[in-house]
Amino acid sequence: MSTFEFLQSIIVKTGFFHLTIGHVIMWFIGLFFIYLAIKKDFEPLLLVPIGFSIFLVNMPITPLTGKGDLINLFYHYGLEWEVIPCLIFLGIGALTDFGPMIANPKTLILGASAQLGVYIAYFGAILLGFNIKEAASIGIIGGADGPTTIYLTQMLAPHLLGSTAVAAYSYMSMVPLIQPPIMRLLTTEKERKIRMKQLRPVSKLERIMYPLVATVLICLLVPPVAPLMGLMMVGNLFRECRVVERLLKTSQNELLNIVTIFLGLAVGSTMQAENFLKPQPIFIFFLGLVAFAFSTVGGLAFAKLMNLFLKEKINPLIGSAGVSAVPMAARVSQKVGAEYDPKNFLLMHAMGPNVAGVIGTATAAGMFLTMLK
Amino acid sequence: MDNWTFGITMIVVGMGGTLLTLWILSLLMSFMKRIFPMTKEEK
């Protein structure tokens, strides 16, 4: 081999020789996610690893996503085996105070009605030519619940995982941008000023019984989501029983943080230029926005409907918190309400539908799985 | 059943099932309030 041929063989093995315009476009998409996380503080714990992973896996000929390569292992064991979404739910359960929901069980209905967007987007996806399983995976984006979206998509349409997961997490992070205009459009100023009665205190026994009762009911009614709901409820039991402090702290902190890193890297790795730069993901992002907007509408509209029958009116702004983005959607309800009455504290009231939305989205996913799998 | 009919059936059953599940859970929560009231110590 001549020196020239030797140098040529080295150049051919560098990434520069294999770089395409698609890779560069994906770099910019990855950088945009990192920008949103760092500059705009949009879900930084997720968008930083997802953005960097998009950036990384679009470096040509790198041994990262092939069979047995590092990030492929995270993807395979974490997402394909459905381990990561369930462990994330364990952490969410350990972090979540279901007290506001237990104190005001009506808010569970708001969490269910905010799943309207899931079904509207599902129908829209069928109209756009997606098959039924793909449509269900796209529709679930409307629940604004990343782990549930991953769980359902992996079971029904794994080839859409990257697009649906990134759309779900993107819209979760954009709650403060998407929801307020819809909330203002669908409510009157008088409704936005409704003050709600302070929530009753919840007994310790009620808090301990809640995860047990919810597990029995949901596992019996929608068994396919038992892994998600089961781990969420065991996490919540760790929190409420107050005798397993070490397990609780691990679930809330170390375990959740470790799993979040793997989740971000694995989700980002699905966005390789050759898979992602097609019309399909654009439709999915569009339908995800439709889903999310209609979920907000569903929660608001149902809260207004409930007010027709309730003696003690509820502020319809808390209905929009029925999407699962916890606690951001509840904070948005508080913020919009405070714009019209600074002394109106809606946050704790909005936490009820907000945590109910997590259960609602998991139930909606369970309904899809029951019917389609 | 064609795709459309199946799709619409799923919307009705899915949304209805989701509402029903959470409504039952809300009933159970209301029931629990009566069974497990606050103890004197907690109050």
Entry pTM: 0.92
The string of pLDDT tens digits covering residues A203-218 is 999 999 999 999 999 9
Q: What is the pLDDT of residue A344?
A: 93
> B5, B22, B33: best mutation site toward chain A, by most A Cβ within 10 Å?
B22
End-to-end CA distance of chain B: 58
Angstrom distance (rounded) from CA A190 to CA A209? 38
For chain A, give the mean pLDDT: 93
Q: Which of B35, B14, B42, B20 is nearest to A210 (CA)?
A: B35
CA distance B5 to chain A (A): 11
Mean pLDDT of A252-269: 95
Q: What single-letter amino acid sits at A119?
A: Y
Asked if residue A215 lies in contact with residue A229, where contact means CB atoms within 8 angstroms, the answer is: yes
Q: Confidence class of residue A305 from pLDDT cuts 50, 70 and 90?
A: very high
Say whether pLDDT at A281 is over 90.
no
CA distance A114 to chain B (A): 10
Q: Confidence class of residue A169 from pLDDT cuts 50, 70 and 90?
A: confident
Alpha-carbon Rg of chain B, whole angstroms? 19
Q: What is the pLDDT of residue B7?
A: 82
A29's torsion region: left (phi>0), alpha (psi -120 to 50) or beta? alpha
Angstrom distance (rounded) from CA A293 to CA A227? 28
Nearest to A112 among B3, B6, B19 (CB): B19
Phi, psi of A112 (to 5 degrees): -75, -45
Residue A354 contacts B, CB cutoff 8 Å: no
CA distance A121 to chain B (A): 10
Which long-range contacts (C-beta less than 8 Å, at least 24 apart) are formed by B1-4?
B3/A126, B3/A131, B3/A132, B4/A126
DSSP state of A346: -
Q: Which helix (H) or strand (E) segment is A177 a member of?
A: helix A175-186
Angstrom distance (rounded) from CA A200 to CA A218? 25
Say whether pLDDT at B2 is over 90.
no
Q: Confidence class of residue A42 from pLDDT cuts 50, 70 and 90?
A: confident
Hey, which of A66-80, A162-176, A247-261, B1-15 has the most confident mean pLDDT? A247-261
Q: Which helix (H) or strand (E) segment is A307 a member of?
A: helix A279-307
Q: What is the pLDDT of residue A274?
A: 87
Buried b (16+ CB within 10 A) or exposed e, A316-352: bbbbbbbbbbbbbbbbbbbbbbbebeeebebbbbbbb
Nearest CA in chain B to A112: B19
Q: What is the pLDDT of residue A11?
A: 87
Asked if residue A92 lies in contact with residue A85, where contact means CB atoms within 8 angstroms, the answer is: no
Chain B residues touching residue A213 (CB < 8 angstroms): 25, 28-29, 32
Alpha-carbon Rg of chain A, whole angstroms? 22
The SS3 of residue A10 is: helix
- Tokens for A66, please give them: 């092939």
Angstrom distance (rounded) from CA A119 to CA A298? 11
The string of pLDDT tens digits covering residues A97-152 is 999 999 999 999 999 999 999 999 999 999 898 999 999 999 999 998 999 999 99
Question: Are B18 and A367 in contact (CB < 8 Å)?
Answer: yes
Largest pairwise CA distance in chain B: 61
Residue B31 contacts A, CB cutoff 8 Å: no
Question: Are B14 and A359 in contact (CB < 8 Å)?
Answer: no
Q: What is the pLDDT of residue A89?
A: 96
Mean pLDDT of B7-35: 92
Question: Are A217 and B28 in contact (CB < 8 Å)?
Answer: yes
Q: Confidence class of residue A359 from pLDDT cuts 50, 70 and 90?
A: very high
Question: Are B23 and A132 in contact (CB < 8 Å)?
Answer: no
Asked if residue A148 lies in contact with residue A85, where contact means CB atoms within 8 angstroms, the answer is: yes
Mean pLDDT of A9-37: 92
Say whether pLDDT at A39 is over 90.
yes
The count of CB pairs under 8 A between chains A and B is: 109
Choice between B43 and A49, residue whose per-residue pLDDT is larger: A49
Nearest to A206 among B6, B19, B33 (CB): B33
Residue A218 contacts B, CB cutoff 8 Å: yes
CA distance A170 to chain B (A): 24
Question: Are B10 and A368 in contact (CB < 8 Å)?
Answer: yes
Say whether pLDDT at A70 is over 90.
yes
Asked if residue A54 lies in contact with residue A271, where contact means CB atoms within 8 angstroms, the answer is: yes
In chain A, how many H helices and how many E strands? 21, 0
